[in-house]
Structure 1
Amino acid sequence: MAAYAGGGLSAMDVREAAAALSLPAEAFGNDPAVEMLWAMKAHQHAEVYGNLISAVDPKFLKLTKADDQIYTEFRKSFKELKIDVLDPEDLKSEPAKEFDGVVEDFNYGTLLRLDCSKGYTEENTLLATRIQFFAIEIARNREGYNSVVYNRAKEASSSQEEVSSGWSSS
């Protein structure tokens, strides 16, 4: 795959990557090119999700068709799990197999923020299964923890609009 002059992937590269990622994992072994594609897909997902919770009040977000079921099962199994700032050790024991069929690709690698008040940075991100991402982010949204991201973005937008219009709150 070749990058175009702008430094990203061309449309053809994206189609080739999508076709490759649809093949079963056994077809690749530990192919570094495929690992890079998965990393890029996980990064893109994180970017989209970060933009989403910055633009829409997370309390109103529906991430999957099974949000209610995922949230109920998650909180039934992990009543006391602290989700605002995660301990990576707590995620190693989560039983994801019960969600096979409930969420498509439940076991895919996805980037998850450790501290939900912060963005996706190397220090604040870990690789989790997709179902772990959904369970934790649905809980963070419903329990109000992700509101800090939305409110911060809203405040920044309001401040920018005040500066642009010549008004200031000072």
Structure 2
Amino acid sequence: MSKPFDPETAENLEDMEKQFAVKAVEHLMTYWAILEKVRGSQLRLTKMDDDIYEHFKREFPDFDPAAPIDEDSMKSKEGKEKWRKFIKEYEKKISDYNFGTILRVSPGVEYDQDTTIFAMRMQFYAIEIAR
């Protein structure tokens, strides 16, 4: 019988990391190309944008969409647990809900090595919808 999966102690396989990186870069390039043509406030990222936004506001009431993301807080033990619970709600509702993606730390910046963090797709959706 296999042991339960513990995300805190999981090893990363190099090929899997490369595949995630390729998908994440494809996603960011597509999103940025759209943002260059359409204001973010006019975008619909999913069919559930309104529900995601309301849920996000309930779970993260102190989130300021204009402020830079505090990655340390987001990825702290408490932050991870809160986000895991949020993300889990979309397991059967949003395809690729837990895929890795690249998230801009601030809404006023372009994608760059110093202005982005790695996040889950639902974190990306929630934060970009709020912005």
**TM-score (norm. length: structure 2):** 0.78
Residue type matched to 1:129 in 2? Answer: M
In 2, Cα distance between equivalents of 1:52 and 1:128: 20
Q: CA RMSD in A?
A: 1.5
In 1, Cα distance between equivalents of 2:117 and 2:39: 24
Secondary structure of 1:133's counterpart equals: helix
Residue type matched to 1:43 in 2? Answer: V
The alignment covers a number of residue pairs equal to: 112
Provide structure 1 residue ranges, at least 5 long, that are not aligned to the other structure.
Answer: 1-28, 141-170
In 2, Cα distance between equivalents of 1:100 and 1:120: 27
1:81 aligned to 53, 57, 63, which one? 63
Secondary structure of 2:35's counterpart equals: helix
Bigger share in helix: 1
For residue 107 of structure 2, what is the aligned residue in structure 1?
116
Alignment of 1:66-77 (within 5 A): 66-77=48-59
Identify if the C-alpha distance between structure 1 residues 30 and 89 changes in structure 2 by more than 3 Å, giving closer, same or farther: closer
**1:89 Cα deviation after fit:** 2.6
2:122 aligned to 114, 119, 131, which one? 131
> Segments of 4+ in structure 1 off by > 4 A?
none
**TM-score (norm. length: structure 1):** 0.61
Residue type matched to 1:51 in 2? Answer: A
1:45 aligns with 2:27: yes
